[in-house]
Structures are given as structure tokens and as C-alpha cells.
């Protein structure tokens, strides 16, 4: 049996050229910084799946528990025959529960990692032969573009994992505003949002004892070396993840252990000892603060679900 996935290439320019340009711009910046979207090459995507299984990383299992308890209520709110759009589809594990409860006629997975996206959507197409499966390879953080064949269909965007926290609050508001404009009128968003909690619980989640998050962070340098021919010594950098209480945000960095340089395309980017490359933010919210942010983006709160310990939240947002 042929497994059909409708593939939409929405990547702007060559993937390697985009990565190269972003790396050069990020290393030249002050302070040095790079978008977390570049973590997700094939190896990075596999490492992230391993992070989700670590005992310290409460986010995935907590969100999955919330979805399991709320899925019938979610299905009733969303209604039948809705296009289900998953942003950052990854392994598409959480979405299976929604597919079984909602029974949408069409599914669109959007991800920046082409190989991982194709693997996951092909598995979905094989496991759900009644479902029309689409895969859009592209950077959803820059804006979601609906394929012409799916335009105009009432949709629900699924944005799990607290990936909204990778944006600053201002960026998150702008992202939700763009998403609202991209989706047909009457569409909704089901979104996972991590909540503010004790510093030790937060920092442990991003500094797992097995060192998987450290490997995930350092893989960014390995990707530079493999794809761009960069001159960089991985052992000369260390992983650091700390909670910035003032910004309500976990900050992840690669810290230079000594004075050194990264060389890309003949350009030398010097690091002082202790200088960092800021690789990720993971912002944490209070319920009322996130709901206010969503309202500024044009959404009202349709429903919100929490786990028993109020570690994590899942919001159903409805277009005003």
C-alpha cells in the first residue's frame, strides 16, 4: 500500500544558507545569540525526544496527562471536521490522542526539520488511513502559511510543549497575532504553556543528570562544524541553564571555558573566557499574564486546563 503524504516545501532559500547567515549574524552580535530553531537538525530532534523522557523534564508527561484528561472536552469545543494544524510536529506523539478524539478529516504538520517531519507524518498516514495528511517544511516562527488546498477550512492549531516560551513575551504576542491572521475565521489554538514555579524545579528540568540537554545544546556547535565547516572545539564550551527571575525565563547558554574563537567562512569570532552564546529562552507564565498576552493578540480564553500540582497549563484560545 502506498502511504500518501502531501508535502509542501515552504522553506525560504536553502536550509544551509539560512543557517549559515543566522550563525554569522548571531556570532557577530553583542551579546552573541542564536535562535533555538537551529537546534532541530535530525540529531537535535532525536536528542529533544530523549530530553522529554528524562525524569527531571516534567513538561512532556504533565502536558500529556492534561490532554488525556481533557480530550473529550476539547473535542466538544472544537467540533467535527476541523483541519488540525500541528506546529513543530516533531514525533507527533501528543497529537495522536487529539486525532482519535476529534477525528479531523485533514492534518497539517509544520516543522523546520524536514527529515523528522516526513518520518512522523508518514507514520501518521500509515496509522490513520482515514486521515488526509499534509506536511509543510518551514519555519513556523516566521509565520504560518496555509497551503492553497487547505485554505479557508476552519482549523485548530496545536502548539504543544510550551514552545511559545521560546519567544519573549513581545515576540509571543506578535507570533499569536500572525497565527490568528493566517488561520481562517472561527479557528482556535490549543497551546501548552509552562507555569512559574520554584527555581530548583525549573533549573533541574534543563540540567538533567544524564546530560541529554547539555548534549542537545552542544549539538548546535556540532551542526556548525558538520554543515558549515566551522572551526570550533566542542570540549571548550559548557552547557549552562539558569532561571532569570526578573524575566521569568530559563536562559540556556553555551559558555566558553577559555579564550578562543569560532571560525566560519574565514571569519573569526572571538570569545573571552566565560563569554556565552545565548541559545534559548524558555519563558514561564502566570495564568493571568498569558491570558492577557493572548487577548492583546486578538484571542479570548475558551478554556484552560491544569494538572493537580499546577505545574503546566493547556489553553484553548478562540479568535475574537
pLDDT confidence of residue 15: 55
Inter-residue contact 29 to 36 (CB < 8 Å)? no
Beta bridge partners of 240: 253
Inter-residue contact 154 to 186 (CB < 8 Å)? yes
What DSSP line would sit under 252-263, residue for residue?
Answer: EEEEESSSEEEE
What are the backbone dihedrals phi and psi of residue 297, each rounded to the nearest 5 degrees, phi first? -85, 0
**Residue 110 pLDDT > 70, yes or no?**
yes
Inter-residue contact 4 to 133 (CB < 8 Å)? yes
pLDDT tens digits, one per residue of 31-86? 999 999 999 888 998 999 999 999 999 999 999 999 999 999 999 999 888 999 99
User: In residues, how long is the chain?
Assistant: 320
pTM for this model (two decimals): 0.92
Amino acid at each position: 500500500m502506498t502511504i500518501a503524504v502531501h508535502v509542501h516545501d515552504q522553506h525560504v532559500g536553502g536550509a544551509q544558507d539560512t543557517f549559515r547567515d543566522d550563525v554569522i549574524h548571531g556570532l557577530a552580535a553583542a551579546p552573541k545569540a542564536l535562535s533555538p530553531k537551529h537546534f532541530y537538525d535530525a540529531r537535535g530532534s532525536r536528542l529533544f525526544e530523549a530530553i522529554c523522557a528524562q525524569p527531571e523534564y516534567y513538561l512532556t508527561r504533565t502536558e500529556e496527562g492534561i490532554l488525556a484528561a481533557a480530550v473529550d472536552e476539547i473535542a466538544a469545543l472544537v467540533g467535527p471536521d476541523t483541519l488540525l494544524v500541528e506546529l513543530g510536529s516533531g514525533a507527533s506523539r501528543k497529537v495522536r490522542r487529539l486525532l482519535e478524539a476529534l477525528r479531523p478529516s485533514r492534518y497539517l504538520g509544520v516543522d523546520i526539520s524536514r527529515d523528522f517531519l516526513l518520518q512522523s507524518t508518514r507514520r501518521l498516514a500509515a496509522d490513520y488511513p482515514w486521515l488526509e495528511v499534509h506536511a509543510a517544511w518551514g519555519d513556523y516562527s516566521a509565520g504560518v502559511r496555509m497551503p492553497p488546498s487547505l485554505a479557508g477550512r476552519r482549523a485548530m492549531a496545536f502548539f504543544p510543549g510550551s514552545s511559545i516560551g521560546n519567544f519573549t513575551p513581545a515576540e509571543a504576542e506578535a507570533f499569536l497575532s500572525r497565527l490568528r491572521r493566517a488561520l481562517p475565521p472561527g479557528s482556535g489554538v490549543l497551546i501548552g504553556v509552562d507555569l512559574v514555579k520554584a527555581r530548583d524545579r525549573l533549573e533541574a528540568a534543563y540540567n538533567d543528570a544524564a546530560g541529554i540537554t547539555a548534549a542537545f545544546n552542544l549539538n548546535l556547535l556540532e551542526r556548525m562544524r558538520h554543515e558549515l565547516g566551522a572551526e570550533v572545539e566542542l570540549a571548550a564550551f559548557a552547557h549552562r541553564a539558569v532561571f532569570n527571575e526578573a524575566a521569568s525565563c530559563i536562559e540556556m547558554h553555551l559558555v566558553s571555558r577559555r579564550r578562543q574563537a569560532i571560525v566560519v567562512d574565514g571569519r573569526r569570532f572571538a570569545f573571552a573566557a566565560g563569554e556565552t552564546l545565548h541559545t534559548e529562552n524558555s519563558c514561564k507564565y502566570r495564568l493571568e499574564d498569558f491570558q492577557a498576552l493572548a487577548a492583546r493578540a486578538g484571542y479570548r480564553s475558551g478554556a484552560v486546563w491544569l494538572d493537580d500540582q499546577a505545574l503546566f497549563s493547556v489553553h484553548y484560545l478562540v479568535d475574537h
